[in-house]
């Protein structure tokens, strides 16, 4: 069964995952986490998709999923849920480029993270999520004024 970890526990689970990795991947995950929080102090941390065959992954949300942070043997992957709709002037996206919705950034050992560019992507993803939430929807039975 897929499971989402409660908010107060998610932060602790992410902390534990970073410690558990204990190598460059943990440091990289911690760094991208700090960049995400610096870009948007209102971001919410979650731990999602835990099941018997997978421990789950960190997810950062604000008005919807902004991005995830997966760790693999040779890279850390940040997947932006609506990445295909985001402008990427710094060309940070380097993975999942063929998809219609998502885009990802694979970070390998020793690679420098463009902090300013990543903050811009996080802010743009949040703005895109909130854009859909802030549209005024007419209430049923009411005519919209045009």
Tell me the pLDDT band of 135, cut-offs 50, 70 and 90. Answer: low
Tell me the pLDDT band of 138, cut-offs 50, 70 and 90. Answer: low
Tell me the pLDDT band of 98, cut-offs 50, 70 and 90. Answer: confident
Overall average pLDDT of the 36-57 stretch: 91
pLDDT at 139: 52
pLDDT at 145 over 60: no
Cα dist from 133 to 59, 82, 104, 126, whole Å: 19, 15, 24, 11
Output the average pLDDT for the chain: 88
- Please give the class, per CATH, of domain 3-132: alpha beta
pLDDT at 51: 82
pLDDT at 99 over 90: no
Overall average pLDDT of the 91-95 stretch: 96
Bridge partner residues of 54 (DSSP): 51
Domain-wise residue ranges, the chain: 3-132
Query: In this prediction, what percent of the chain has a pLDDT beyond 90?
Result: 73
- Of residues 89 and 6, the one with the higher pLDDT is 89
pLDDT at 134: 64
């Amino acid at each position: 069964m897929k499971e989402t970890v409660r908010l107060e526990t998610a932060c602790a689970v992410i902390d534990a995952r970073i410690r558990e990795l204990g190598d460059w991947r943990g440091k990289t995950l911690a760094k991208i986490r700090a960049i995400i929080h610096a870009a948007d102090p209102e971001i919410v941390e979650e731990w999602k998709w835990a099941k018997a065959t997978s421990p789950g992954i960190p997810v950062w949300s604000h008005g919807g999923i902004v991005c995830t942070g997966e760790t693999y043997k040779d890279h850390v992957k940040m997947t932006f849920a609506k990445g295909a709709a985001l402008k990427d002037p710094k060309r940070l996206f380097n993975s999942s480029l063929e998809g219609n919705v998502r885009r990802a950034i694979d970070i390998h050992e020793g690679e420098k993270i463009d902090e300013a560019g990543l903050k811009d992507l996080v802010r743009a993803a949040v703005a895109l999520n909130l854009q859909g939430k802030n549209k005024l929807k007419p209430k049923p039975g009411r005519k919209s004024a045009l």
